[in-house]
Structure 1
Amino acid sequence: MTTKTKRKSSKKTKPSFGSAKKTIDSTQQEDSPAIKALLESGVAFHNKGNMQQALDSYKSVLAMAPGHPDANHLLGILMNQTGDSKSAILLIRKAIEKKPTAAKFHNNLGLAYKLDRRTMEAASSFRKAINLDLAYAGPYLNLAQLLTEEKKYTDAIKQYEIALELATDKSGVLTKLSSSYLEQGNIPKALENAENASSYLLPHFMEILHREMDSVIAASDEVKTLFKIGIIFQLFSMPYYAGLCMIKAIALDPNCAAAYGQFTSIASAKIMPTKNNIHAALIEKTTSDILARNDMKHDTMRDQVISIIDIEGAKADIDAFTITSDENALSFIQENQRLLEIFSTHCFLQLLKSSSINNLLVEKLLTKIRRCLFFAMLHQDSPSQLTDQFGPLIISLAYQNFLNEYVFFIDQDELFSIDAFEEKAKNNISDNTSDAILYVAMLACYRSLEYYPTISEMISNRQTPSMSDIEGLITLQITNPKKEKEIAKSIKQFKVIENITSKLVRQQYEENPYPRWASTFRLPPKSPRIIIAKGIYPNLPDDSSTLENPRVLIAGCGTGQHPISCAVSYANSSVLAVDLSLASLSYAQRKADELNLNNIEFMQADILDLGGLNEQFDIIESSGVLHHMKEPIAGWKVLEKLLKPNGMMKIGLYSELARANVVASRNIIAEQHYPSTPEGIRECREYIKGLDDNNIVKSVIQWNDFFSTSMIRDLIFHSMEHRITLPQIDKILSELNLEFMGFCVFNGDCKSRYLEQFPDDKTATSLTNWHTFETQFPNTFKGMYQFWLRKKAP
């Protein structure tokens, strides 16, 4: 501890603006009742996140009482929270002119200066606040954070230690102390403070953490220590430092699968920034290493890779490239170092080969470069000069277009030229030219190789030069589809599917097996109880649930990613996975065979017929399936009867509130008569991309499903879709003998915000409260409601 000055406790503990309500000066007796009422109203709106209403209230106060210090201060806070730091500085300065000794005014002025990147003035304001009120924890925390960002870790630690003495929220300060020690390289002190912070967590979650630590296989105690600190940071919503712990652990032990898995989980929720970051090279290497592994889910790394290539920073170059004529496009790209740098970034090329891209700017760039190189190769006698510069990109593009099922727009010029390009490719293959590989790869950018019969036959018969550079592509587009056709003959069928709606849904997925995927998580198996407990935290599975050696049913398994993940993750499990679509099941069985899994069985069946199964299950999961049935509750009742007493069930259903843009999109499709063919889907996507940003339909671009043919078909073209509300779910559960155990929510700190708003619901299981929360934040369940249930014992 660096100071002996006696300080009183303060409620202001977070290094942020905190609650607007706490900033009102209760001694402002000269305010009229009308002004006080307006100010209180503004604060109420502000705390609920209703920024426009809060803005109107604060401005109304200032219209009635120009120069009102609290109104200027509160309005300054709001401006800074919405990114307008310059206005915030002016407003809070005005407040300080009236009340120069208000410590909180100076503290929040410091935060506005910090956002405006005026760090010296920010530090000065924080120190003024400290001098005005030695018992006020806020400016110590904010000054410490500023010093941390300036890499002055020793000085930051001193400020955090003072704040720790004052703060009521000890855990928040302890985690920040831990992060500074981590940056300083003092791992033992980082662990000490992180463990002290974790003592404030719910006891049963600490039990889960300890069990998880026991399952971590690491090369040294230091690796395990970093892993543990990282997990604690995750629990306290500090994703950057959680990720930093994992990449440091991986650097010490490149075989620590658990650390890779946690990093992907962190990066999928919030990217690890690399710009102006001393850890940038390590972050990029870790990202590349993950994409080189086949036991990680690569689509979790999309946003991280897009951040690494800084695609937004290249927007002007991309815009210029896309409007360049065909005659000049190749020379433009060959001379543009910024775009060439993107095309040569290793982790970017890796991602193209293993996951569909979910970024419009990247799509715009890839669509143009595909066209550019296509016509360059078509019109040149030999494209060999392109091989060194663009060969790896063309091959990666072929993977990408196959994975997204050729969702990128193809114009008429390209369509009309494909036959001529195919002839040129055949000639190069026949002549055994070194360019043959590039021609094959470029054709695969427009259509799967299995749809070029002659070329496919020549490749299969190896009447070609060495194809080692595209062996994986050949496997993906020729070998695997052949395997799946053979596998389909051996998939067990439970009963002939007769339900009309089920037949329609099956047809969609026979045409578009959903989704295409290359890899999934294969981490050391854990007790299902631990996995479920992490999902429904802060609740806990009932002790009566028998989850050891579980028999698991996946009802609606698609192409297998879900059941394979369960078969790998749930210790000592055996899995039965059923689906309507034979094409999806064949894909799933092929993937399971590749992974040598012997605890999973696939079967073609309609959920409505599963009542004829002569067994019950410990765990049943059905995600994104019931809402595609004509009568979802009928299917749900079948599943409930198949669940053992005290068994656990995970359900995924579409939210009515979260899918307003999907409903609007479906209406557009009906009005414009877009067919659910690949061509119709591509045309529809172009129409949506061209809409005004304020059009609700345009917002479907925010969904990952927009970037794959089968996924967007499932999103907005589906032949049958129901949506539901939480009150409706509550009513259904009361009829089904199922107890709600908790949501699996994946969007950041959603549960912590819920618990702040509803502190009495300590298990976060009140569907009434969640409905209130979702009404305030309609995107909470943008993907789906995903939740666990327990079947009540008789």
Structure 2
Amino acid sequence: MTTDTATGTASLPTGQSTTGQSGPDHQALGHRLARVLELCRSGRPEEAEEPYRALCGTPPQDAADLLSLAEAARILGHPAETVAWAEAAVRRQPDRADGWSVLALAFIAAGRTDDGYAAAAEALRRTGANGPGTNGPEAGGAGEHAAKEAAAIQAHRAQALARLRRGQLAEAAAACDAALRIADGTARPSQIQPTQTLRQAQAETLGTLALVRMLEGRAEEAEALFRRALSHRPLLPEILGNHASLLARLGRDAEALEQAEQAVALRPRLTGTLHLIGTLHHRAGQPESAIAAFHRVLAVDPGHLDTRLRLADSLRVAGHWEEAAGVCRDGLARIPNPNDPGRTPLLANLGAALQTGRDAAGALEAYREALRLSPDLPEIHNNLARLHQETGNPDAAIEELRRATAGRPANQPLPLPLRRALLSLLIAAGRTAEAEAEAFGIARTAPEDAELCFGIAALFLQGGWRDQALPYVRKAVRLAPDLPRNWIAFAEALRDAMLPGADGGMDEGLRADLLAALGRPEVEASGLSRAIAGVLMASPTLRYLAALPEDAGPALDDASRALLADGSLAGLAEDALLLAHLRAAPVCDPTLERALTRLRQVLMLALTGPGLPDRPAWRTLCAAIAEQCFLNEYVFAETDGEFQVLAVLVRAAEAALDRNEQPPAMLVALLGAYRPLYRWDRAAALQTLSWPEEIARLLDRQVAEPLAEAAIQAELPALTPISNPVSVGVRAQYEENPYPRWMNTGLLPEAVPLSRFLHALFPHAALPASPAWDTPGWDAPAVLVAGCGTGREAVWAASTLKNARVLAVDLSRRSLAYATRQSRRLGLKSIEFAQADLLELGALGRRFDVIHSVGVLHHMEDPMAGLRVLRGMMRPHGVMEIGFYSAAARRPILAARHFIAERGHPPTLDGIRHVRRDILALPEGHPARAVAHSPDFYGTSACRDLLMHVHELHVTLPWLADALAALKLEFLGFRLADPAVAALYRKRFPEDPAMTSLARWDRLEAEHPMIFGGLYQAWVRART
């Protein structure tokens, strides 16, 4: 931060005898001088400038008036003239100690530190060898004594400032202490009271000592000293400005800005404080306000280099790159020597401005000239690297950063941000071996730094290199387990990963990390299902169960007895990761599903066997399986034998209730593993009984929650009619099979402003940087989720976008009831759920800042009709996310649908089970077999949505481009589930860093048909 180190000059006493002018002319001059000082001190320097210049034409002759003229020159920002008037005063009356102290401070403000220190020493000599007061009042009048005392204080303070300029902080503090001892008045005769001049001198010295403490890093002491100084004289602008600088260093920007504004209201030409105001606005994301403040600095001091550089940066950020370049060129013109290294930062900023304006040739010339003057500036190498990357030459970008490293001593490696930039470039270029070596080198320098580990992991994830990211992100979560972003990165590194299970090799630490991740609200558990399956399948018991045939018959009886006898079931019941997974998300692995299906059979046989005790561990395991089956809507296959035994168990439970007896807890858990308990007519009776914790939890999920949803259905408002035949058919499907049944959505710990969210998603898009100032509505966006299903997207919007107000509509009341219950469970009160047909929404007359409609439009008879409705509901500055099935990526789905149609399976639970069985029996190379890799294959409603939907259409990217053009919508970019896709695009088309060419995306999809995972998720906005 810039500080104003020369905190005022010595205050000027009046009434002392001087030699020189007298009479009416002197009196008139005094009035004119007093008027100039009044204008200066009241913050009106523009009005003071003309009368000040008039005084300079006929300057006063006596010393006191010359010192007053020096004070005016200082406030008006004319350091050389301040020195000249103070020197004239000293020549006029050499014995005036206060004249020498004023001259000392003037020299220091003008940068003449040595002269200032000498003048301060002379001031101290003229106050008396031991300071004022040693000879008593008889040595002069009380006024003269007070003047000498004030002069001594200011002389010591001037010496402190001189020491400060030299970096001698301890000596500066000692000089301040000497001044404050005089100000304390221990040697002052009792009949002499402190004057206003003395009090101001004391306040200014306290302010100087506070500045010293601030520069020493002793913030608390500095804060206390500033407070003391301002309690003596609350309106000293330099002290207010320096205190603002301290507050800014402490991160208290709002207080700092208020204090700084107060200082410049009193002293408008206080350049250091004006610079601080600009800096505070700049880092608050308010570039226009920063620009205004920096212009005020340069109006006073055109040679203020730091301000010129900050002004250029703010102009560039605000989009005024040509003005930024002009500011830099003006600064270069002030340094005519072409070999002056002082030109380097201006050249670097000029290059950045031209780079922003896409003037690659001009930017390259500026950067090269900067490196000629200062070859070892890694920041300029970094800018050059970015320039090469933006112009489609990533290899040159890498070599530029390599050049920055070359020749550096081993103990002075490339700064960490630039090493990360190099790592990012290597990843984007696909240079795996070099990237891994660079990452290892970075991590080796700070192996226990969580921030560093996260940064490396994030870069690998950005390139889609999850295997390389995993070790770093695991270290990050161990070093900083409370940081949500570490767990989000952990989940991303393992999303849909197939870890080795049967072959071993999984350490217990990973198992513990996975278990911890399932308990984190920011982690979406379903994304970890495959990774967890890989770890769980290391269990010999689960592998044994998975190997059993579907209808094992006697072999299953033998297996049941063996597993009970050797304690294998108890081992599974104590597996915390298995239990947590079963409760949190559907299993998405066919081998683990097969093992759990057999396990359910084993538990059923065990319960019907003779004398089996109701052991807590087995009960816990069975209840967890029941929760899993409820989540996947009982998609697990059943045999005829199980169906028959189930009927026997139901009768046994009913008989117990008829006898007013409580059925065994194990029996209730097993019933819930085969059928949803809320559909049993005895469910209400079960709720009245006292149960162990795991059964109470099961009843809450399988009985209380569905009954609550049924009550919610009756309360939901209907906003529009639903009459379109396709809409009616789609509604019927989702009333039967609401999709998806989710438990968590990966909630962020803190909502972010819409602008920040979009900037993170699309950093190259020209989006408003400060919504509260630039874009009405973005500080509290109105959000429409059109086709919200069971509410995941609505919950995401309400919890992710700061101050969002969400309207979520859907055709299905059953889906909406699930969504409403889940949002209430999460404590979200900003979502309004209602039944409506998207086609009819335009009649509401409402407009939205954000519209979300993903996975909806392709289930309409005419997707363009729905898109037109949504386009009409966008506010002028609004954005919209739309999702369509990709024709290329849905080819396996079409193959599966043809396969299903040939076999005539209906979209019922039994039909879906048969569909899944038949598809899993296909060889791996069969076109339809690929659908088994989709997580949606592992739930009843999800599988119907995936393979047996009542109505769906597929589109191509050229169709999407035409649709956006027809509706005057601008494509911002895709939201990509896999970061590797973005890395693939950047490598294939480096000339398009914004990744906004749908034609190029179409070419990439033709080369890699599955890059979108079946669904285009595009963000768009209205064309301006």
* Distance change >3 Å, CA 739–CA 681, structure 1 → 2: same
Deviations 1:530-560 (A, max 9, x none): 3233334665646676633211111110111
- 1:447 paired to 2:675: yes
Partner of 1:659: 890
CA distance in 2, matches of 1:342, 1:541: 53
CA apart distance, 1:409: 0.9
Deviations 1:274-313 (A, max 9, x none): 9999993333222111212345321121122122224598
Q: Of 186, 189, 194, which aligns to 2:446?
A: 186
Partner of 1:360: 590
Q: Of 290, 310, 313, which aligns to 2:517?
A: 290
- 1:754-793 map, 5 Å: 754-793=985-1024
CA distance in 2, matches of 1:726, 1:764: 14
- 1:528 paired to 2:754: yes
Partner of 1:415: 643
CA apart distance, 1:394: 1.0
Partner of 2:955: 724
Partner of 1:505: 730
Q: What residue identity is the alignment partner of 1:687?
A: D
Partner of 2:556: 326
Deviations 1:418-466 (A, max 9, x none): 2211122345567898971111111111110012212x1221222xx53
* Higher deviation after alignment, 301-310 or 326-335: 326-335
Q: Of 770, 782, 786, which aligns to 1:555?
A: 786
Q: Is the 8 A contact 1:181 1:187 kept in 2?
A: no
CA distance in 1, matches of 2:460, 2:872: 41
Secondary structure, counterpart of 2:584 in structure 1: coil
Partner of 1:128: none
CA apart distance, 1:223: 4.5
Q: Is the 8 A contact 1:317 1:339 kept in 2?
A: no
Partner of 1:490: 715
CA distance in 1, matches of 2:460, 2:702: 42
* Distance change >3 Å, CA 239–CA 539, structure 1 → 2: farther
Q: What residue identity is the alignment partner of 1:425?
A: A
CA apart distance, 1:187: 3.9
Partner of 1:471: 696
Partner of 1:377: 607
Q: Is the 8 A contact 1:551 1:574 kept in 2?
A: yes
Q: Of 257, 273, 289, which aligns to 2:484?
A: 257
* Distance change >3 Å, CA 255–CA 275, structure 1 → 2: farther
CA distance in 1, matches of 2:846, 2:780: 15
CA apart distance, 1:658: 0.7
CA distance in 1, matches of 2:913, 2:504: 39
* Distance change >3 Å, CA 295–CA 233, structure 1 → 2: closer
CA distance in 2, matches of 1:167, 1:260: 22
Q: What is the TM-score when the length of structure 1 is the normalising length?
A: 0.70
CA distance in 2, matches of 1:168, 1:603: 45
CA distance in 2, matches of 1:336, 1:601: 54
* Distance change >3 Å, CA 333–CA 229, structure 1 → 2: same
CA apart distance, 1:509: 0.6
CA distance in 2, matches of 1:168, 1:507: 49
Q: Is the 8 A contact 1:514 1:558 kept in 2?
A: yes
Partner of 1:741: 972
* Distance change >3 Å, CA 170–CA 404, structure 1 → 2: closer
- 1:301-700 map, 5 Å: 301-310=528-537, 317-322=544-549, 324=552, 325-334=555-564, 344-378=574-608, 380-384=609-613, 387=615, 390-427=618-655, 436-454=664-682, 456-462=683-689, 465-523=690-748, 524-536=750-762, 539=765, 541=767, 547-700=778-931
CA distance in 2, matches of 1:778, 1:167: 29
Q: What residue identity is the alignment partner of 1:530?
A: R
Q: Is the 8 A contact 1:536 1:744 kept in 2?
A: no
Secondary structure, counterpart of 1:505 in structure 2: helix
Q: Which has the higher contact order (CA 8 A, sep 6+)?
A: 1
Q: Is the 8 A contact 2:811 2:835 kept in 1?
A: yes
* Distance change >3 Å, CA 233–CA 659, structure 1 → 2: closer
CA apart distance, 1:314: 7.8
CA apart distance, 1:769: 1.2
Deviations 1:10-34 (A, max 9, x none): xxxxxxxxxxxxxxxxxxxxxxxxx
Q: Of 176, 193, 217, which aligns to 2:436?
A: 176
* Distance change >3 Å, CA 340–CA 348, structure 1 → 2: same
* Higher deviation after alignment, 402-411 or 245-254: 245-254
CA distance in 2, matches of 1:337, 1:768: 61
CA apart distance, 1:693: 2.4
CA apart distance, 1:241: 5.2
* Distance change >3 Å, CA 185–CA 401, structure 1 → 2: farther
Secondary structure, counterpart of 1:391 in structure 2: helix
* Distance change >3 Å, CA 691–CA 768, structure 1 → 2: same
Partner of 1:207: none
Secondary structure, counterpart of 1:762 in structure 2: coil
* Distance change >3 Å, CA 432–CA 335, structure 1 → 2: same
Partner of 2:61: none
CA apart distance, 1:760: 1.9
Q: Is the 8 A contact 1:497 1:606 kept in 2?
A: yes
Q: Is the 8 A contact 1:545 1:648 kept in 2?
A: no
* Distance change >3 Å, CA 295–CA 773, structure 1 → 2: closer
Partner of 1:76: none
Matched residues, percent identical? 29
Q: What residue identity is the alignment partner of 1:289?
A: A
CA apart distance, 1:255: 2.7
Partner of 2:494: 267
CA apart distance, 1:691: 2.1
Partner of 1:94: none
Deviations 1:42-63 (A, max 9, x none): xxxxxxxxxxxxxxxxxxxxxx
Deviations 1:654-701 (A, max 9, x none): 011111121122223322221111111111211212223222112111
Q: How many corresponding residue pairs? A: 599
Deviations 1:230-268 (A, max 9, x none): 434433444345444443343344332232223223321
CA apart distance, 1:381: 3.7
Structure 2 unaligned regions, length at least 5: 1-397, 403-409, 414-418
CA distance in 1, matches of 2:480, 2:468: 18
Deviations 1:509-531 (A, max 9, x none): 11111111111222111122332
CA apart distance, 1:352: 0.8
- 1:43-82 map, 5 Å: none
- Which structure: larger Rg? 2
CA distance in 1, matches of 2:606, 2:987: 59
Partner of 2:355: none
Q: Of 466, 479, 488, which aligns to 1:239?
A: 466
CA apart distance, 1:609: 0.6
* Distance change >3 Å, CA 224–CA 274, structure 1 → 2: farther
Deviations 1:726-775 (A, max 9, x none): 11111111101101111122234111112212222221111111111111
CA distance in 1, matches of 2:693, 2:567: 29
Q: Is the 8 A contact 1:321 1:333 kept in 2?
A: no
CA distance in 1, matches of 2:440, 2:505: 15
- 1:48-127 map, 5 Å: none
CA distance in 2, matches of 1:225, 1:262: 13
Q: Is the 8 A contact 1:384 1:435 kept in 2?
A: no
- 1:709 paired to 2:932: no
